[in-house]
């Protein structure tokens, strides 16, 4: 079987796309919203929250910028192996859409689900928001911890 890929395709491991598929993708990407609408769908789609996740010896820490969101408007659901953060950033509608020169800020609902690399102690988790930075601290389950069990007679 002859390999018809170009040198670049062989080098990078990419595959040549069907011309029809390339044209369809380019058309979809070049579609601009009509009448200067926002680049996101305000009706039903949620934005994805950006996060940093790291671990220390005893906990997993999740950080995210949630500026403009009141702490009571955040919903954080935790299981032993997963965290889901949901919220909504409301905009004040005192500026008409036609008066904007540039719009990049995301307004509306957002969410993010994070699969955790290790189990955590749900009851000891804590979340703090300060100056727009959300910090969630999730203590790891200590699998090496042992206790003595007394046998009742």
Half-sphere exposure of 42 (CA within 13 A, CB side): 9
The pTM of this model reads 0.63
User: CA dist 93 to 45, 59, 77, 107, 109, Å?
Assistant: 20, 41, 30, 11, 16
Pick 93 or 12 by higher pLDDT. 93
Compute the Cα dihedral for 143, 81, 52, 63 and give only its sign: negative
- Calculate mean pLDDT across residues 18-42: 50
CA–CA separation, 21 and 27 (whole Å):
10
Specify the pLDDT at position 74.
93
- Calculate mean pLDDT across residues 106-130: 91
- 41-139 is classed CATH 2.60.40.790: yes
CA–CA separation, 62 and 138 (whole Å):
8
**Of all residues in the chain, what percent carry a pLDDT higher than 70?**
71
Q: How confident is the model at residue 82 (pLDDT cuts 50, 70, 90)?
A: very high
Pick 51 or 49 by higher pLDDT. 51
Of 58, 55, 51, 78, the residue nearest 134 (C-alpha) = 51
90: Cβ contacts below 8 Å, ≥ 6 apart = 68, 73, 107
Write down the domain spans for the chain: 41-139
Tokens of 21: 């598929």
What 3-state DSSP class applies to 129? strand
Location of structure tokens 């509306």: 108
State the DSSP code for 124: G
Location of structure tokens 């003595």: 148
Pick 120 or 13 by higher pLDDT. 120
Specify the pLDDT at position 67.
87
Q: How confident is the model at residue 37 (pLDDT cuts 50, 70, 90)?
A: very low
């Amino acid at each position: 079987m002859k390999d018809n890929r170009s040198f670049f395709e062989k080098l990078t491991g990419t595959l040549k796309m069907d011309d029809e598929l390339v044209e369809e993708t380019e058309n979809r990407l070049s579609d601009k919203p009509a009448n200067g609408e926002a680049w996101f769908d305000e009706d039903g789609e949620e934005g994805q929250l950006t996060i940093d996740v790291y671990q220390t010896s005893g906990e997993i820490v999740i950080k995210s910028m949630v500026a403009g969101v009141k702490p009571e408007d955040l919903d954080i659901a935790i299981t032993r192996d997963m965290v889901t953060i949901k919220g909504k950033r409301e905009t004040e509608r005192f500026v008409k859409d036609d008066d904007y020169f540039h719009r990049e800020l995301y307004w509306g609902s957002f969410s993010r689900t994070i699969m955790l690399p290790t189990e955590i102690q749900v009851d000891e988790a804590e979340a703090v928001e300060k100056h727009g930075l959300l910090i969630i601290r999730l203590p790891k389950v200590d699998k090496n911890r042992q206790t003595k069990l007394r046998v009742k007679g």
